[in-house]
Structure 1
């Protein structure tokens, strides 16, 4: 880069904290650092023109887990681990709302619904059989039963007559959330450089030398918040996972309102104003979708459209307005990785598809490490 003296002095000299990734985790980390260190020079590096992972590409579910997901988690986690995961998600959602306000993120508490296809009768029965057990497990957190049974009131087709309702689930406007975070970062004198990708770093006793595709510089501390892209830079157990999404054009008199989970949460949809946003289908081709490359595939996009026609909007004409994908960070364990990895280098990654819920908290925990 052909940088001037002024540019080097203002943006790339005497940096106290450099954060990689300007998503939910990265900006929340920067805001927490600013609270602790009012005079520190804080810089965020972002490889895209907007946050590139999932922060501006997710479905905007303010949720902590469907009934079938929690039951499934109990197969690979202890009860204490599952309870702690849910507590973190709730704490993270509350922190997000407190940091930005419900109005700024357009938070709506319309409830969450888990649907079961006709082929999922066994899954539904398992959920019904264990509903009281899970409600009892979570009662100390909410002081009431969470999961209740409701009849199909939205006119969905090819699903079981009843579904599971969770009154505590909400939804946000992802774009408004990120816009509010960026504004807050600017107000707090947190500098963000876009279109810069970190290629490598070298640690020293009191600093870290950062090499990017644009410029090299030194920083006192390096904090990595790139989630699904983290394995490109550090050796941690996090795998990229692509999530494909589409959204319809406006639909007249749309009655569907809330957040909806189908097939163990592998499919999810919601209303956004008078449109349906629909995503998922990773389970159709895990091998292809475990990638950090953005894009869509015919097999998943065709399945999403088929489910829209046969299940979600069976008697309503619709057109697809837009399609996109986001990259999540997942692993065998759902607990995020928040730790120091080298001298003056830290990471907050592996959000497991729950970035909206836990991103703010992971950002705070990452900042608290330094």
Structure 2
């Protein structure tokens, strides 16, 4: 690419901060840097037409973990770690709402529900027995009980008659959220360039040389907010995890409102108006779904359709309107990686499928490493 004097001067000269990734973390990083450094030149580079990973592809859950997911985390993390993670997710959601406003993100506090298939009697009983304990440890944060047993009133089939309800969950409009973040970034004089892929970088001690496909430029600091694409940056501490999603055509008389979880968070669905969005299923084939390639597989899509037909929308006709996938960043630990990689290079990654909840906070923490 041949750049003009003007292009070099305005976009690639005297760059103070370069952020890689224009998703939830990247734009919150940029906005926080702008708050701290009002006159700095801030450049955001994005490899896709839109944020490439999951920020514009997620299901729009304003959640912090279903009961079975929290209990699963307690098997591999300390109680203190799990509580700290939930607190981060909750604080992140409040930060997101405060920055963007509930109206802009179409925040709907319908509450969240967890379903248990009939064959998962053990999982259901385990969760029910642990409700008092989890409510007790979360009470200092929420000042009220988080989880309660409720009778299914939605007409689901092949599940236990009781659901677990969480009044603190809500829905957002993912597209509106990202548009509002982009508007705020542009208004804050943050430069955003799409379809730009970094091929290499070199920390020179007093600045960083960043190579794109056709040329290179120098920046004072380089910050990576690439989550699911951060495996090589973090020496394998972050692994990509593909999430497959589908959405139905509008359904007459749909009486389902809220966010819903199934099987330790591996499946999730919600209404968008009178449509159902359903995603998940990577636990059917972890190896195939540990990928940065977008796309769908028959094994996952068939399972999603089976859940729609036999659990979520029994005795109702529906049509699939659209299918897509997103790339999350996960690892052996659910704790995000917010760290300094070298003198002038930093990263904020591994959101563990909780980008909506935790992304704003991780972006702020990443900016505050400077």
Q: What SS does the corresponding residue of 1:198 show, helix, strand or coil? A: coil
> Counterparts of 1:210 and 1:336 in 2: how far apart (Å)?
25
**For residue 104 of structure 2, what is the aligned residue in structure 1?**
104
1:234, CA displacement in angstroms? 4.8
**For residue 90 of structure 1, what is the aligned residue in structure 2?**
90
Distance 1:180 1:214, change over 3 A: farther
**For residue 181 of structure 1, what is the aligned residue in structure 2?**
181
Contact 1:116-1:159 within 8 A present in 2 as well: yes
TM-score (norm 1): 0.99
Q: What SS does the corresponding residue of 1:231 show, helix, strand or coil? A: coil
- Residues 308-340 of structure 1, C-alpha deviations (whole Å, 9 max, x = no match): 001000121100000000000000100000010
Instruction: Output aligned runs, 1:217-256, within 5 Å.
Output: 217-256=217-256
**For residue 34 of structure 1, what is the aligned residue in structure 2?**
34
Contact 1:199-1:233 within 8 A present in 2 as well: no
**For residue 74 of structure 1, what is the aligned residue in structure 2?**
74
- Residues 39-69 of structure 1, C-alpha deviations (whole Å, 9 max, x = no match): 0000000000000000000000000111111
- Residues 193-221 of structure 1, C-alpha deviations (whole Å, 9 max, x = no match): 10000111001121000011243110000
Contact 1:200-1:233 within 8 A present in 2 as well: no
Q: What SS does the corresponding residue of 1:316 show, helix, strand or coil? A: coil
Instruction: Output aligned runs, 1:1-370, within 5 Å.
Output: 1-370=1-370
> Counterparts of 2:185 and 2:234 in 1: how far apart (Å)?
26
Moved more, 227-236 or 50-59: 227-236
How large is the Cα RMSD of the aligned pairs? 0.7
> Counterparts of 2:317 and 2:53 in 1: how far apart (Å)?
32
Contact 1:351-1:358 within 8 A present in 2 as well: yes
> Counterparts of 1:122 and 1:288 in 2: how far apart (Å)?
28
Q: What SS does the corresponding residue of 1:154 show, helix, strand or coil? A: coil
> Counterparts of 1:180 and 1:267 in 2: how far apart (Å)?
28
1:236, CA displacement in angstroms? 4.8
Unmatched segments (≥5 aa) in structure 2: none
Structure 1 runs, 4 residues or longer, greater than 3 Å off: none
1:142, CA displacement in angstroms? 0.9
Contact 1:158-1:310 within 8 A present in 2 as well: yes
Contact 1:28-1:360 within 8 A present in 2 as well: yes
